[in-house]
Amino acid sequence: MGTQQFENNNPYRGYEGGSLAAGATDPASGTPTPAAPVNPAPFNFSSQPPAPPHPPAQQHGPKPPQPRKPRPVLTAVTAAALAAVLASGSTAYLMRDDAAVTGADQGAGLTQVQGISANADGSPDWEAVAAAVRPSVVAISVRTTQGEGAGSGVILDAEGHILTNNHVVAGAETVQVMLSDGRLYEATVVGTDPTTDLAVLELADPPDDLTPATLGTSEDLGVGESVMAVGNPLGLDSTVTTGIVSALDRPVTASAEGSSSATVTNAIQIDAAINPGNSGGPLFDSQGLVIGITSSIATLTGGQSGSIGLGFAIPVDLATTIADQLIADGRAEHAFLGVTLNEGEGTADGVTRQGAQVVEVVPDTPAAGAGLQPGDVIVAIDDSSVGSAESLTGFVRQYASGDEVTLTVIRDGESIDLTVTLATREEG
């Protein structure tokens, strides 16, 4: 199972819409692009091993006096204050909708159903939500040539498809899935997508009483909204934690060990406790609808590697798009622009903004056709602000090939809008 390294907001590593750029190999030309200077960045995300199947119980006595601690400094890729580690997560699919759909109405695809009502005072009824959703969450155990690991997943349909993270099952020789009632099933990998860190499994001989999750939408999430994470942290299956949405569209970058490809996600940031083993598990809203797949956490370097209230989930709208493709074809396609990027700033009408600065435009790509030029600073895509190269990459990956988007670009002191029709990135 490949470990991953997460990087957040590194101003010296560029990206194009769908692949690494500065300091990496240009996916369009196959030639290395120049590496920019490496200076300390605000955040650095380091790797963490997968959770063991079951943790030993520990008792904690009174703590002795602690010496004064130095200011935390990371030592991974660049100096920073935080390190993101693999957590645990997964998700399922359904749009928020007022119309209820019964199990008998479910077809072969993903379905929509009505969510769980709140308490009389408007507060979430977490007890009811937990009772309703836990049967749709599974614990995943894998064996690789490097050992064993554990993660989480969510049941997508009655056919036994399970959505999880790619890093949970990467390199797996055998996969075993445990339902919430303890029943065990062997599973096969239907398809994986390292670009988005998502994967779909299928149970061998699934039972006829599976409880697929109800998928919501991440499009209308709000900061401060209540959420619930359910998963298999440290082998403790069906663990439930709650919190809120702390931020939206938070750029999180991950690269699998031994791989040149990077996972760039504009993630949902949450403060609900998630830990190693939660990876691939679902994040629910207060109605019991899946809104994301928990995939990573941030942790202080040199200290305890558990949750510090900084967790990240892949938005369910993206997860649904990828899951549908993996189930249908075993692979996923990704839209791209065709540029290499770095961090940059642009000033127009007396206002300076951060954005994604174009370093190179690859010929015969959507970017070239739209008239993007080196030196342009992209500060928005459609109605979403772009604050970095990673942010733009994350947004582009949420679109499909053929989608038409509007880029707001600062060029020569002026703000202009360019219309771009995205295309499919050819996977190397």
d(CA 347, CA 224): 32
Instruction: Write the CB contacts of 308 (distance below 8 Å, at least 6 apart in sequence).
Output: 297, 298, 299, 300
C-alpha distances (whole Å) from 213 to each of 41, 141, 158, 338 are 39, 20, 10, 36
8 Å CB contact between 83 and 298: yes
Among 150, 146, 393, 417, smallest CA distance to 266 is for 393
Q: Is 407 left (phi over 0), alpha (psi -120 to 50) or beta?
A: beta
What one-character DSSP code corresponds to residue 103?
G
Measured at the alpha carbon of residue 59, what is the angle toward residues 55 and 60, in degrees to the nearest 5? 125
Question: Which pLDDT score is estimated for 303?
Answer: 58
- DSSP per-residue string spanning 312-329: EEEEHHHHHHHHHHHHHH
Whether the predicted pLDDT of 49 surpasses 60: no
C-alpha distances (whole Å) from 374 to each of 344, 378, 410 are 12, 11, 11
SS (H, E, C) 48-74: CCCECCCCCCCCCCCCCCCCCCCCCCC
Question: Which pLDDT score is estimated for 121?
Answer: 77
Overall pTM > 0.75: no
Residues of the chain within CATH 2.30.42.10 domain(s) are 335-424
- Encode pLDDT of 397-408 as tens digits: 888 889 999 999
Three-state DSSP class for 340?
strand
8 Å CB contact between 253 and 392: no
d(CA 334, CA 356): 19
Whether the predicted pLDDT of 304 surpasses 90: no
Helix or strand (DSSP H, E) at 158: none
279 is catalytic: yes
Q: Is 324 left (phi over 0), alpha (psi -120 to 50) or beta?
A: alpha
161 is catalytic: no
Q: From the candidates 255, 279, 305, 391, give the one annotated as an active-site residue.
A: 279
d(CA 159, CA 172): 22
d(CA 125, CA 107): 29
197 is catalytic: yes
Of 223-232, 260-269, 306-315, give the lowest mean pLDDT range: 260-269
- Encode pLDDT of 90-114 as tens digits: 322 223 333 333 333 333 444 444 5
Q: HSE, CB side, 13 Å, CA atoms: give it for residue 114.
A: 8
d(CA 231, CA 168): 13
Question: Which pLDDT score is estimated for 95?
Answer: 30
Q: From the candidates 197, 237, 285, 376, give the one annotated as an active-site residue.
A: 197
Instruction: Tell me what percent of the residues of the chain surpass a pLDDT of 90.
Output: 58
Count of residues in the chain: 428
**Assigned fold of 83-330:** Thrombin, subunit H (2.40.10)
Q: Mean pLDDT, the chain, as a whole number?
A: 76
d(CA 419, CA 414): 16
In this prediction, residue 352 has a pLDDT band, given cuts at 50, 70 and 90, of very high
Instruction: Write the CB contacts of 163 (distance below 8 Å, at least 6 apart in sequence).
Output: 90, 91, 92, 93, 153, 154, 156, 198, 199, 200, 280, 293, 319, 323
Of 12-16, 123-127, 130-134, 298-302, give the lowest mean pLDDT range: 12-16
Helix or strand (DSSP H, E) at 369: helix 366-370
Of the two residues 196 and 71, the one the predictor is more confident about is 196
8 Å CB contact between 93 and 323: yes
End-to-end Cα, the chain, rounded Å = 21
Residues of the chain within CATH 2.40.10.120 domain(s) are 83-330
d(CA 206, CA 289): 23
Q: Which two tokens stand for residue 179?
A: 């339902």
8 Å CB contact between 193 and 166: yes
**Assigned fold of 335-424:** Pdz3 Domain (2.30.42)
Residue type, 224: G
- Encode pLDDT of 139-173 as tens digits: 999 999 988 999 999 999 999 999 999 999 999 99
CA dihedral (37, 39, 41, 46) positive or negative: positive
